[in-house]
Amino acid sequence: MFRSRLLFSLVVVLFLSVLSFGNTVNLTFLGPSGNNLGGFYTYPYYFSINGGKPTGMMCDSFANHISQGESWTASVSGLLQGKGLFGKDDMDYKAAGLIFLGVMHGSINASVGNWAVWNLFTKGITSDSSVLALDSWALNTAKHAPSSSLKGLVLYTPVNGRPGYGPQEFIGYNCHVLLTPEPGTLMLLSTGLLGLAGAVRRKLLQS
Q: Residue 126: its pLDDT value, please?
A: 98
Same domain, yes or no: 8 and 52: no
Same domain, yes or no: 15 and 62: no
Same domain, yes or no: 2 and 82: no
β-strand 45-49 against 36-37: which pairing, if any? unpaired
pLDDT digits 0-9 by tens, 17-53? 333 345 999 999 999 999 999 999 999 999 999 999 9
**89 versus 69: which is more confidently predicted?**
69
Element of type H or E holding 198? helix 183-206
pLDDT digits 0-9 by tens, 179-204? 444 444 344 434 544 554 455 455 54
Pure H helices in 106-162: 110-121, 129-142
Same domain, yes or no: 64 and 143: yes
Q: Residue 123: its pLDDT value, please?
A: 95
Domain count of the fold of the chain: 2
Question: Using CA atoms, how far apart are residues 124 and 110, in angstroms rounded to an integer?
Answer: 20
Burial of 58 (0-12, 13-18, 19+ CB in 10 A): buried
Interval 78-105 mean pLDDT: 95
Same domain, yes or no: 98 and 120: yes
Res. 164: pLDDT tops 90:
yes
- The total of other beta-carbon atoms located within 10 Å of residue 105's CB is 8
Cβ atoms of 49 and 55 within 8 Å: the answer is: yes
Same domain, yes or no: 199 and 159: no
pLDDT digits 0-9 by tens, 46-76? 999 999 999 999 999 999 999 999 999 999 9
Q: Residue 183: its pLDDT value, please?
A: 45
Q: Residue 203: its pLDDT value, please?
A: 52
Q: Residue 88: its pLDDT value, please?
A: 83
Same domain, yes or no: 143 and 98: yes
Question: Using CA atoms, how far apart are residues 158 and 165, in angstroms rounded to an integer?
Answer: 10
Same domain, yes or no: 148 and 206: no
The CA–CA distances, whole Å, from 180 to 59, 94, 171, 184 equal 23, 22, 18, 11
pLDDT digits 0-9 by tens, 108-155? 999 999 999 999 999 999 999 999 999 999 999 999 999 999 999 999
Cβ atoms of 158 and 66 within 8 Å: the answer is: no
Same domain, yes or no: 128 and 191: no
Whole-model pTM: value is: 0.76
Same domain, yes or no: 164 and 189: no
User: By residue range, what is the domain housing residue 94?
Assistant: 23-180
Same domain, yes or no: 166 and 194: no
Same domain, yes or no: 2 and 74: no
**Rounded to the nearest 5°, which phi and psi values hold at 117?**
-65, -45
Interval 66-90 mean pLDDT: 95
